[in-house]
């Protein structure tokens, strides 16, 4: 065990008052059938009691969404809807600090990260969806048949209907708004089921939407768990027209089974076991800094994070040493301390899972270059779910550590000798979400990036986003793409109209 506290003195804030997080149905706070406790990942303190929705509350939420769909929202002209979405973005910016506080309390992530990534993206997601729906085109054809008949074919976009939006805990507001904004832009109404670990920002967002003039019932929020709880009640509900889900691949599989009897569309953003490939000609300083970011951002709890690093043999030792040095520089600590780079894992349960992979890696023969355990934090933080940023070598693709998603601050380095071998190693996975290639040879960068069997392939950068570009995964990493017109395709039902001329 090592000690990893921030070098600056931390300021322990006075304990926040206990919060009560309720469901939001038809614009009103609604009690659940029982409550469950939400603990702080920072120090383990009890943060809130959360009202768990039962079948009855889920029924009410779906009925409220249906009524709103059939009301003015479902019939609102696109331009007007886009204006409302822009007002939501403005309202998010007005309530920026409240959203940051909610996100930081639930996740323990550094405040700067919540500001720069999570909450900033929430506003951007709404503006982007407003722009995209305002300029979205659909097919139209002038049809001329050999027998002389002529017709005008054109498609009109209708909402999918009442959409279940089920999201995880790692980037709660970013991932919720990434789905919610295009769903609303397309005229749908929604029932959101946030993660049981992060109930706060979704609840606050529902309030913000009402403030911005979105009618009650357009966004409902139900809290709870998956099987036997709100998640299952929602995905099996006959009034739900489609499910958009981000989370673990095994949960995606359970949701697919839940909707199968009613043949409803699903959009899945699932797990990953993402590879980075570093060629010997890469700008090594940039590559090492990029790898540190792609491995450790958000304590490794981003679906796009790198867990497998393939390095061309001549630079293997330099990359391993450089990345271990970067990991050693990370500062674990309180979110409000500007020196903090790295927060805790989301929960004790998730830490147990990540630690079990550290044990497995050792059993499989890994060398632990840095980390591999629980840090001693002091300052009242040892009840939190802190973990050491970790780097491994000595494994190969046959080991479970290299095949299963860990979702923590850990990656393993493996050497390769040829470009073909690097591509084969990177593609040797059941997942297919994201990859990164580091090289100064841009021809090779394009060539390798295109051969990666993933939905997102970066070259000399990572997690640089254009919100219009397609986002999603192959294999165990998901079904469908989100972003720009790709999102609109999931959230809309086009109807073709054919008029004889
Ligand atoms: P999870 O699958 O455990 O939970 C996600 C959500 O699904 C939660 O709201 C949960 O309550 C709900 N849920 C769980 N079981 C359910 C069921 N049977 N029916 C309905 N709902 C159910 O995932 P998590 O642990 O919250 O998040 C981490 C996972 O999410 C990782 O695997 C990560 O890779 C993945 N993820 C993927 C992306 C992406 O874009 N591909 C983005 C973020 C996270
Ligand atoms: O940036 C995004 O739009 C996005 N969907 C990120 C997903 C990150 C996964 O944890």
Q: How do the pLDDT tens digits run along the chain, 501 residues long?
A: 333 333 333 444 444 555 899 999 999 999 999 999 999 999 999 999 999 999 999 999 999 999 999 998 988 999 999 999 999 999 999 999 999 999 999 999 999 999 999 999 999 999 999 999 999 989 999 999 999 999 999 999 999 999 999 999 999 999 999 999 999 999 999 999 999 999 999 999 999 999 999 999 999 999 999 999 999 999 999 999 999 999 999 999 999 999 999 999 999 999 999 999 999 999 999 999 999 999 999 999 999 999 999 999 999 999 999 999 999 999 999 999 999 999 999 999 999 999 999 999 999 999 999 999 999 999 999 999 999 999 999 999 999 999 999 999 999 999 999 999 999 999 999 999 999 999 999 999 999 999 999 999 999 999 999 999 999 999 999 999 999 999 999 999 999 999 999
DSSP label at residue 329:
H
DSSP label at residue 226:
S
Q: How many helices (H) and strands (E) does the chain have?
A: 16, 21
CA distances from 3 to 164, 330, 419 (A): 44, 12, 40
Ligand nearest to the CA of 175: 2
Break the chain into its structural domains and give their ranges.
Answer: 21-270+477-500, 274-466
Q: Which two tokens stand for residue 94?
A: 């007005």
Q: Whose CA is nearest to atom 13 of ligand 1?
A: 226
Say yes or no: do domains 21-270+477-500 and 274-466 share a fold.
no
Q: Which residues contact 418 (CB under 8 A, 6 or more apart)?
A: none
Helix 419-427 and helix 442-451, axial crossing angle in degrees, nearest 10: 30
What is the value of pTM for the model shown?
0.95
Ligand nearest to the CA of 270: 1
d(CA 312, CA 437) in angstroms, rounded, equals 12
d(CA 316, CA 74) in angstroms, rounded, equals 57
Mutate which of 107, 116, 123, 171 to test ligand 2's pocket (most atoms within 8 Å of Cβ)? 171
H-helix or E-strand spanning residue 19: strand 19-21
d(CA 178, CA 124) in angstroms, rounded, equals 9
Q: Which two tokens stand for residue 493?
A: 């039902």
Q: Which two tokens stand for residue 131?
A: 């722009």
Ligand 2 center to residue 118 CA distance, Å?
Answer: 10
CA distances from 356 to 265, 389, 454 (A): 36, 15, 27
- What kind of architecture, by CATH, is found in domain 274-466? 3-Layer(aba) Sandwich (3.40)
* Residue in this structure with the two tokens 């409803």, named with its chain if needed: 264
How much of the chain is helix, strand and coil, in % rounded to 5? Answer: 40, 20, 35
170 C-beta closer than 6 A to ligand 2: yes
CB hemisphere CA count around 359 (13 angstroms) = 7
d(CA 120, CA 125) in angstroms, rounded, equals 9
Ligand 1 center to residue 167 CA distance, Å?
Answer: 6
* Residue in this structure with the two tokens 């409240």, named with its chain if needed: 98
Sheet holding 34-39, edge to edge: 19-21, 46-52, 34-39
| Torsion sign over Cα 90, 95, 100, 106 | negative
Q: Identify the CATH class of 21-270+477-500.
A: alpha beta
Active site residue 303: yes
Ligand 2 center to residue 313 CA distance, Å?
Answer: 32
Q: Where does 364-441 have alpha helices with state H?
A: 419-427
Ligand nearest to the CA of 465: 2
Greatest alpha-carbon pair distance for the chain in Å reads 84
> In terms of C-beta distances under 8 Å and separation of at least 24 residues, what long-range contacts does 7-15 make, across chains too?
7/331, 7/339, 8/333, 8/337, 8/338, 8/339, 10/333, 10/334, 10/337, 10/379, 11/334, 11/336, 11/337, 12/334, 12/379, 12/380, 13/336, 15/45
Return the closest-CA partner of residue 179 out of 232, 128, 104.
128
Q: Which of 52, 196, 197, 269 is catalytic?
A: 269
Q: Identify each DSSP E strand in 32-132 by its residue range.
A: 34-39, 46-52
Other C-beta atoms within 10 Å of 207: how many? Answer: 17
| Torsion sign over Cα 229, 245, 306, 474 | positive
CA distances from 118 to 191, 280, 362 (A): 21, 34, 34
- Atom of ligand 2 at shortest distance to CA of 168? 10
d(CA 377, CA 385) in angstroms, rounded, equals 10
* Residue in this structure with the two tokens 């940023």, named with its chain if needed: 389
Which residues have C-beta atoms less than 6 Å from ligand 1? 166-170, 175, 193, 195-196, 225-227, 231-232, 235, 246-248, 251, 254-255, 269-272, 303, 405, 407, 433, 473, 477-478
Ligand 1 center to residue 268 CA distance, Å?
Answer: 10
CA distances from 306 to 249, 274, 276, 422, 436 (A): 17, 5, 6, 15, 8
Q: Whose CA is nearest to atom 5 of ligand 2?
A: 175
Active site residue 305: no
């Amino acid at each position: 065990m090592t000690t990893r506290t921030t070098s600056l003195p931390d300021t322990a804030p006075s304990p926040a008052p206990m919060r009560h997080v309720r469901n939001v149905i038809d614009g009103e706070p609604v009690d659940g059938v029982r409550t469950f406790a939400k603990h702080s990942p920072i120090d383990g303190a009890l943060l809130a009691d959360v009202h768990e929705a039962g079948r009855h509350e889920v029924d009410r939420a779906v009925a409220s969404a249906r009524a709103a769909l059939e009301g003015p929202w479902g019939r609102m002209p696109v331009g007007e809807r886009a204006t409302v979405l822009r007002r939501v973005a403005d309202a998010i910016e007005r309530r920026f600090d409240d959203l940051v506080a909610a996100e930081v309390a639930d996740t323990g992530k550094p405040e700067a990260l919540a500001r720069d990534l999570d909450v900033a993206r929430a506003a951007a997601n709404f503006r982007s969806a407003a722009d995209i729906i305002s300029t979205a085109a659909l097919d139209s054809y002038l049809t001329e048949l050999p027998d002389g008949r002529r017709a005008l074919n054109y498609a009109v976009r209708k909402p999918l209907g009442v959409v279940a939006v089920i999201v995880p805990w790692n980037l709660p507001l970013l991932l919720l708004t990434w789905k919610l904004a295009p769903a609303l832009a397309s005229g749908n109404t929604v029932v959101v089921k946030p993660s049981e670990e992060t109930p706060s920002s979704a609840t606050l967002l529902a309030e913000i939407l009402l403030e911005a003039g979105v009618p009650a019932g357009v966004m409902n929020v139900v809290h709870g768990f998956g099987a036997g709880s709100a998640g299952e009640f929602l995905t099996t509900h006959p009034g739900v027209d489609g499910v958009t889900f981000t989370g673990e691949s095994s949960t995606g599989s359970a949701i697919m089974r839940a909707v199968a009897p009613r043949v409803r569309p699903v959009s899945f953003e699932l797990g990953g076991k993402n590879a980075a490939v570093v060629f010997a000609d890469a700008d090594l300083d940039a590559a090492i800094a990029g790898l540190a970011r792609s491995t450790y951002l958000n304590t490794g709890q981003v679906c796009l994070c790198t867990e497998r690093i393939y390095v061309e043999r001549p630079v293997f030792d330099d990359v391993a040493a450089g990345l271990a040095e970067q990991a050693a520089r990370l500062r674990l600590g309180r979110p409000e301390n500007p020196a903090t780079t790295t927060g805790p894992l989301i929960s004790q349960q998730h830490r147990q899972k990540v630690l079990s992979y550290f044990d497995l890696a050792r059993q499989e023969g890994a060398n632990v270059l840095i980390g591999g355990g629980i840090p001693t934090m002091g300052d009242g933080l040892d009840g939190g779910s802190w973990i050491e940023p970790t780097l491994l070598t000595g494994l190969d693709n046959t080991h479970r550590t290299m095949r299963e998603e860990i979702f923590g601050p850990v990656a393993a380095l493996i050497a390769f000798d040829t470009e073909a071998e690097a591509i084969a190693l990177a593609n040797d996975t059941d997942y297919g979400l994201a990859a990164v290639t580091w090289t100064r040879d841009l021809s090779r960068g394009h060539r390798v990036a295109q051969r990666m069997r993933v939905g997102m392939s970066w070259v000399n950068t990572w997690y640089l986003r254009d919100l219009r570009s397609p986002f999603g995964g192959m294999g165990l990493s998901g079904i469908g793409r989100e972003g720009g017109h790709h999102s609109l395709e999931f959230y809309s039902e086009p109807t073709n109209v054919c008029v004889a001329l």
